[in-house]
Amino acid sequence: MEFWKIILTYLIQPLVWVGIIMAVIVYRQRLAKERRFFRIAIDRDFYEGRHFLKTAIFGLVVGSIISLLAGLMLTFGTIVFIEAVAILAVLLLPLGDLSLATLWLAILLTNLLNLTNLTSFSLGTFALSFSGSMLPASGLLLLGIYFIIRAFLLHYNKSTWFTPKVKSGKRGRRVAFYNWKEFSVIPLILLVPTNVFESQWSFWPVLSFNGHSFGLFILPLLVAASLKVFKEEPQVILDNFYKQSITLGICSIIAAGISAFYPIASLLGLLFIGGLALYYYFQRQRLDAKGKRWYVETNDGVRVIAVIPDTPAAKMGVQKGDIILDCNDEEVKNESELYAALQKNSAYCHLRIRTFEGDLKITESAIYADGPHEIGLILFQ
């Protein structure tokens, strides 16, 4: 019965509901932008919601196991601070992903306050304290859990879920680039000092183990990831991001283990993890800049910038970046000519395509007899 009180306390925390609402907003925002730029929603699947839920379940199981086995303990003040900056990061998600930056800064600040003994202040009826001998190691451990959960968020084959956008390029030709953004709010079970509940919530269940008393708390942990890709295959950048997250997670957990014995090392560990994360960010930028795929508008055929899932184009194996040279034995150089050629045979489509590698391929398929425009190609409008 007491555990239900803990669950109820989690469900009434603002970050949980702000996160759920923002997941819906991000989804609707994506569809609205696709309809505005391409006259059709490329993928109506609410995968942001599905992955939000799957990642939350993964984080609850794996993250909480790591947390409880390692004895992750945060003070009440630290929990309030982390949740407050996470709410800010969620609200700013339409502009960019600041989840890691805000979490890292919150943990760094609590460590600095701990080292300088500026560890408490008043907020209403609560006295928030950042003190506690386990806080330095716990902050790094929390970062390690964040990176491991983020790696799970990145492990999907998300190449088809990158939303294309178009900007003006050189020589008056337009260029497509690809954007992806997802996040989740993780119910992370951790330990809190018993004095919090003894002084504020007498009803809260307190557990005892091996002569020590503590309380359980479910922290809503914001985990997010986003990418913007210009010149590389999005899946290549995504795989690189995944490997980086795994490395950062391992390094954070190792640094947490060292800080448990040498608390002063926590500050050096945080600076190292922050610097490594920043280095990895610029490494992804360089990897994209060196890419050989430039999704630029061409006069020699029709450039495909996206393919709608489960459509004839997807079944024919058409890929983003492909250039359609002929349709139904008619040479095409723009969208109008392509759809005019499709109208000549409303039940069948035959395409000659040049890939990014310069190879020619022939593909064909039956199409919707009542709407050849629904073949599933997203082109420069």
Q: Assess whether pLDDT exceeds 80 at residue 278.
A: yes
Helices 47-58, 14-38: crossing angle, 10 deg rounding: 150
377 and 164 in contact (C-beta within 8 Å)? no
> Is the model more confident about 52 or about 38?
52
Judge if 265 and 313 occupy the same domain.
no
Average pLDDT over residues 80-103: 91
Running DSSP on this structure, what letter comes out for residue 292? S
- The pLDDT > 90 percentage for the chain reads 38
Closest CA to 234 of 305, 312, 296, 148: 305
Confidence tier at 309 by pLDDT (50, 70, 90): confident
Which of 289, 310, 333 is a domain's end point? 289
**Burial 5-29, CB ≥16 within 10 A → b, else e:** ebeeebeebebbebbeebbeebbeb
Confidence tier at 168 by pLDDT (50, 70, 90): confident
Count how many Cα atoms sit within 13 Å of the Cα of residue 204 in the half-sphere of its side chain.
24
Residue 171 lies in a domain: yes
Judge if 77 and 115 occupy the same domain.
yes
pLDDT at 216: 81
Which of 258, 289, 320 is a domain's end point? 289
Judge if 332 and 192 occupy the same domain.
no
> Is the model more confident about 151 or about 209?
151
Q: Cα-flanking dihedrals φ and ψ of residue 233, to 5°?
A: -65, 125
- Alpha helix (H) ranges present in 39-95? 47-58, 64-70, 76-91
pLDDT at 25: 93
Judge if 320 and 270 occupy the same domain.
no
Running DSSP on this structure, what letter comes out for residue 73? B
How does strand 302-307 pair with strand 377-379? antiparallel
Average pLDDT over residues 99-118: 78
Judge if 200 and 282 occupy the same domain.
yes
> What CATH number is attached to the domain comprising 324?
2.30.42.10
pLDDT at 286: 95
- C-alpha radius of gyration, the chain, whole number: 25
Confidence tier at 194 by pLDDT (50, 70, 90): low
Which structural domain, as residue segments, surrounds residue 227?
2-289
**Rounded CA separation 10/292 (Å):** 47
Per the structure, the count of domains in the chain is 2
pLDDT at 135: 59
Q: Assess whether pLDDT exceeds 50 at residue 66.
A: yes
